[in-house]
Amino acid sequence: MRDSTKIQMEEFTVRFAEEEDASAIFEMVKELATYENLLDQLEATEQLIRQELFQRKIAEALIAEYQGEAVGYAIFFQSFSSFVGRRGIYIEDLYVKPEMRRKGFGKALFSAIAELAAARNCGRLEWACLDWNTPAIEFYKKTGAAAMDQWTIYRLTSKDLQAQLRSVV
Whether 140 is catalytic: yes
Length of the chain counted residue by residue? 169
Return the pLDDT at 1: 54
Query: How much is the pTM?
Result: 0.90
- 29 class by beta-carbon count within 10 Å (0-12 exposed, 13-18 middle, 19+ buried): buried
Domains of the chain (ranges; CATH) run 7-168 (3.40.630.30)
Return the pLDDT at 166: 81
**DSSP letters spanning 111-136:** HHHHHHHHHTT-SEEEE---TT-HHH
The yes-or-no verdict on residue 144 having pLDDT over 50 is yes
Whole-number percent of the chain with pLDDT over 70: 93
The yes-or-no verdict on residue 2 having pLDDT over 80 is no
Q: In angstroms, how far apart are the furthest CA atoms of the chain?
A: 59
Pairing mode of beta strands 124-127, 86-96: parallel
Torsion of CA 122, 7, 146, 144, to 10 degrees: -120
Q: How far is it, in rounded angstroms, from Cα 98 to Cα 2? A: 28
The pLDDT mean for the chain works out to 92
Which neighbouring-strand residues pair with 106? none
Active-site residue (options: 73, 90, 95, 140):
140
Element (H, E) at 28: helix 22-35
Q: What pLDDT, in 10s, does the model give residues 107-121?
A: 999 999 999 999 999
